[in-house]
Amino acid sequence: MTAIIAPGATIGIIGAGQLGRMSAVAAAELGYRTHVFAPEEDGPAFQVAARHTRAAYTDERALKAFAEACDVITFEFENIPKTCVQWLAARAPVRPGWKSLATSQDRIVEKTFLNALGVATAPWRAIHGGEDLCAALKDIPERAILKTARLGYDGKGQIRVDKDTECASAWAALETTSAVLEGFVDFKMELSVIVARGPDGATAAYDPVENRHVGGILNTTIAPATIPATVTTEATAIAEKIAQALDLVGLLAVEFFLTPDDRLSVNEIAPRPHNSGHWTQDGAVTSQFEQFIRAVCGLPLGSPARHSDTVMKNLIGGEADDWLNILGDPDNKLHLYGKHEARPGRKMGHVNRLHPKGSSLDI
């Protein structure tokens, strides 16, 4: 089977959120059709895809028809049942592949994998009950955070704990069967690097960016991050090393903590387009979404070069209602996701604002 999927083919996308939506738009610009598979009633990606299937991820009949209709299949988020991916992979190419998905969707697996590669993370312990938590807090006695091993995102599924925490109550509140306890990292900046990797092993990495969170949700991304060249080189090398070790085909986002003495530790990874890469839609030669499609289809990778310094601001909840005023500034580049209901904490869109390279960004 050839690694190249030619324009005119159909790309299957599992998941109907905004990442799937923007990937589908990029695919159309390269001459591909997309078929989106998701259980929700009105996902943003459904609005722009050539076809969509609304069915449970465990519906084998729907999955079979979906696989038969697609030339290659990818996904826009990690929380997909193993059986779903295995079923599809037996019938069509699935990229970036099961190893990438399985590693990133479980924090215990992910951190074990990273540490085995020699990649630094926060100190951590696997937790499977209140007794495990009490024992781990003796090893990590200062501030720590208890996170579900699976399904947590945007600050959900997390509880702050310390040596005085009542372990049984904290464990019960998390409502899970497996978790990780992470020690806090004293960091001066949160960074991320997005790297693309094709079926031939070729890679292309975007500049490291600074990410600022509010309430556990990404609020602002600043491209590029103001960091020493040595940190840029190291962060990029780590991201490429992880992508190679996963044999990933597609995109990989790697989130880092940067300490006051410029040491890096990896927070988490995501084998797909990432919120912190939205700046590339307007500030880079090739957007992360076009690059994603190029990699998944085995096309030559585009240039990840940044032509402008860029500030990306997420529009959360009702902030998207200010779209007219946002468009009133001709320098704003507005991207809305087509979601019908604005809820607190829900990402409704984002705004990119470009600046000349090397300028002092006013955030």
Give the pLDDT score at 311: 98
- The answer to whether the CB of 37 falls within 8 A of the CB of 92 is no
Give the pLDDT score at 182: 94
pLDDT tens digits for the chain (363 residues)? 457 999 999 999 999 999 999 999 999 999 999 999 999 998 999 999 999 999 999 999 999 999 999 999 999 998 888 888 888 999 999 999 888 999 999 999 999 999 999 999 999 999 999 999 999 998 886 789 999 998 766 556 788 898 888 889 989 988 889 999 999 999 999 999 999 999 999 999 999 999 999 988 999 999 999 999 999 999 999 999 999 999 999 999 999 999 999 999 999 999 999 999 999 999 999 999 999 999 999 999 999 999 999 999 999 999 999 999 999 999 999 999 999 999 999 999 999 999 998 876 666
Express each pLDDT in 124-145 by its tens digit: 999 999 999 999 998 886 789 9
- The answer to whether the CB of 167 falls within 8 A of the CB of 137 is yes
Residues 65 and 179 in one domain: no
Residues 167 and 262 in one domain: no
Annotated binding-site ranges for ATP: 107, 147, 152-158, 182-185, 190, 213, 267-268
Is residue 310 within a helix (H) or strand (E), and if so which, with residue range? strand 309-316
- The answer to whether the CB of 37 falls within 8 A of the CB of 11 is no
Burial of 169 (C-beta count, 10 Å sphere; 0-12/13-18/19+): exposed
Beta strands in 50-188 (DSSP E): 51-54, 72-75, 124-127, 144-148, 158-161, 179-183
User: What is the C-alpha separation between 22 and 347, in angstroms, rounded?
Assistant: 14
Residues 53 and 77 in one domain: yes
Number of domains in the chain: 3
For 121, residues 6+ apart whose C-beta sits below 8 A from its C-beta are 111, 114, 115, 265, 266, 267
What is the reported pTM?
0.94
Residue 116 lies in a domain: no
Residues 235 and 307 in one domain: yes
Is there a cis peptide before residue 96, judged by omega within 30 degrees of 0?
yes
Residues 262 and 303 in one domain: yes
For the residues of 171-232, what is the DSSP string, one character each?
Answer: HHHH--S-EEEEEPP--SEEEEEEEEE-TTS-EEEPPPEEEEEETTEEEEEEES----HHHH
- The answer to whether the CB of 7 falls within 8 A of the CB of 30 is yes
Residue 105 lies in a domain: no
Residue 346 lies in a domain: yes
Burial of 105 (C-beta count, 10 Å sphere; 0-12/13-18/19+): buried
User: What is the C-alpha separation between 8 and 23, in angstroms, rounded?
Assistant: 16
Residues 253 and 319 in one domain: yes
Residues 291 and 277 in one domain: yes
Neighbours of 59 (CB within 10 A): 17
Residues 29 and 87 in one domain: yes
Pairing outcome for strands 33-38 and 51-54: parallel
**What residue numbers bound the domain in which 207 lies?**
189-355
Residues 232 and 340 in one domain: yes
- Give the CATH number for residue 167: 3.30.1490.20
- The answer to whether the CB of 208 falls within 8 A of the CB of 236 is yes
Residues 244 and 154 in one domain: no
Annotated binding-site ranges: 107, 147, 152-158, 182-185, 190, 213, 267-268
Residues 229 and 343 in one domain: yes
